[in-house]
Structure 1
Amino acid sequence: MSINLHALMLFYHVALTGSVTEASKRLNISQPAISAQIRNFEKQYGMILFEKKGRNLVLTPFGQKLFKPTEKLFILEEQIHTMIEDYQKYPKGKLRISGNYLATSVLIPKWASLFKQKYPEVEVVISTVNSQTAFDSLHHYEVDIAIFGNSNITTQTSHSLQCLELYSDEFVFVVAPNHKYANRHISIEEMIREPFIMREEGSTTRRRLVEVCEAHNVNPPKIELQFNGLNEAIQAVVAGYGVSYVSLLVASQFIQRGELATVEVDGIRLTNKIVLCSHEPAYLEEYIRDFISIILKNKA
């Protein structure tokens, strides 16, 4: 038996707004029609979805259970609707790009500029997140392209995804130029005794730092300052406090200006592949394929 998706949609909006009145305004459907269809839906399946508390409707325990998958269903519907809209509006679509800080601050600006010169009517939306979130956003069709560090992220969860390596980056320990360890060779034991400034848990560099410590049988360092942005973490190190573990592609500009110095830690040399992931070309609008072409031609 097929489910009455229209009634399920009405249930979703009443649950979301907390009242039939608000759902009626949002959907432009009369209150009696909404109430009647929800009652019929409840009667059809022998269940109670709402109970009255004051002026509001609240979900019953089963209503709460039903709401979670229903919410996912209609969020997915919105995403599908957006995809179709973009396709119909071509070349006035929207290009959604998700990337880690390195990608969105160092790599993507040039590529986005070149793209907009060719496609001025396409809206470009760029979001900065950690690497895992960037990949998850792509996997769930929330973005069109994800660019991130591929450390311990399984990119083969879907046969429809295509990932290309853009760069082989390196992780480095950095300090202010006047730090006692600036431009020196030291042991991992010495390094981890220093106060660390890092990104949030879930970031690629944070995970790699933990892996380095585990591989050398030492406890991870104490994170004295934590930021949601890599630039903020680097600026704190530039100001003279603590050390950090960062991408060389990001740190190189600060090192060249004399604002940061590296520390060579004995026996530690870790690389980080920067990858571009998208869905298979056959599933992409022409302008998304063109953006990937622009990247491949201008990634040097």
Structure 2
Amino acid sequence: MSKVLIVAEHLDGKLNASTAKCVSAAQALSPKSIDIVVLAADPSTIAAEAAQITGVSKVLAVANDANAHAVAQVLAPQVAKLANGYSHVFGPSTTFGKDLMPCIAALLGVAQVSDIMAVEGSHVFKRPIYAGNAIITVEAPADHTVVATVRTASWPEAGMGGNAAVEAASVDAELPTHTRFVGLEAGSSDRPDLQSAKRVVSGGRGVGSAENFKIIFDFADKLGAGVGASRAAVDAGYVPNEMQVGQTGKIIAPELYVAIGISGAIQHLTGIKDAGTIVAINKDADAPIFEIADIGLVGDLFKVLPELEQALS
């Protein structure tokens, strides 16, 4: 029977919602147990939060100063050691997981299964290919540990209300010295994280400039939403690339997605196809975004958004 180990994603002492989505994917295996490993300098608070996720059997807290920052080459040897006895090791298909999980797979000598969107059996999974235009069924060797990333846009967050045991774990793994944390450069924002936000407002080339993007930020603040952008807006320098939504950016599945001044290139649609409700605002009535939008509004965004803001006040 399956035993699953999930690598927790966290930042600044808070557990990322992607971890609870990995638990949902693990539950689809009907496993014997689901354990979470938290690697940090001081994992106590994060481990206590992870222990509340419904369906979790045990949380392993690995305290090490070397784990103060999420460096894949440092975390991977520790997870690989802990993986002994587990049939599956899951991580989210976020930037964190895409960086870490291939390293774990390499150390265990197995091929990684990427972007699991459905579980067909203990070693049989479905994942998207060709920018999500086709779904492929893959089967991992039954005699090898399955190391996989979970497509977070395809799974709901597991509920809270659990009370799993938290155990301190020590790992005797040789950590590399050739890779070290130098610094983190990231935009600071009080808005919800783009990949876990329930509501997201994105702007495209139609916004016109970096200065004009303020209208997108203001509207998002009215909705309490995260802010994203199309690749065209990022390439034009309106916003940093960490805000890009799409095939080469972030794959998201908010309950509400508002696309403003975005034409709807296939690469962008790949990133939002799992969203609950898609609202499109564009002055071009023939924009491809309207083909997949649940609600479409043809109009000048610089006139429409102030009116919507006023209606929301």
User: TM (normalized to structure 2)?
Assistant: 0.24
Larger radius of gyration: 1
**Relative contact order, higher structure (CA 8 A, sep 6+):** 1
Structure ranking higher in helix proportion: 1
Provide TM-score, normalisation by structure 1.
Answer: 0.25
